[in-house]
Amino acid sequence: MKREQKKKVVIAGNFGVGKTSLIRQFVHSIFSDKYLTTIGVKIDKKSINLDNDLVHLIIWDITGPKHKEKANPLHLKGTHGFIYVCDLSRPSTFEDIDQKINEILNFTGVVPTIRVGNKSDLLSPIKLEKMARQLGLDFTSSAKLNLGVEELFAEMARKFV
């Protein structure tokens, strides 16, 4: 008999890094080049089977803060884990990445965290590997080409079991 659990996962990062695109690709297998601004929060759900566990991910897509803004603490309440997304083609989205993650952890407490660099399709493989190492990324992804998306969310689910 499978053990079931529900876990709130927040997708955080600056505006325009591809948070919504990653979620849409994962949940609905859809990608659109149209930029969709998230206002407030959008919640999606998808379940992942892991051997004897069924993990229901409740995915919170929160508004990306603009320069020097912080995430809304109300959106972070009850978070079991979060994915911090940066855009590998825009350095401003990964500057101060440690500080931004620590600000979130101040609200959530210590929870599983994954750092992901999105839009990997815009870089050469050599530059991608170098940046991932320099930034201490756990994953690189391309929502557009559906690269690393399933693996990213599966890894988050594994962190809960």
At 73, the pLDDT band (50, 70, 90 cuts) reads confident
- Per-residue model confidence (pLDDT) at position 65: 61
Distance CA 65, CA 6 (A): 26
Q: Is domain 3-160 annotated with CATH 3.40.980.10?
A: no
- Per-residue model confidence (pLDDT) at position 35: 63
Which tens digits make up the pLDDT trace of 92-129? 999 889 998 999 999 999 999 999 999 999 999 999 99
- Per-residue model confidence (pLDDT) at position 72: 75
> What's CA 63's distance to the chain center, in Å?
12
Burial of 36 (0-12, 13-18, 19+ CB in 10 A): exposed
Query: Which runs of E-coded beta strand occur in the chain?
Result: 3-12, 41-50, 53-62, 81-87, 113-118, 139-140
The answer to pTM > 0.85 is yes
Which tens digits make up the pLDDT trace of 36-66? 666 668 999 999 999 899 999 999 998 766 5
Compare 95 and 146 and report the one with higher pLDDT.
146
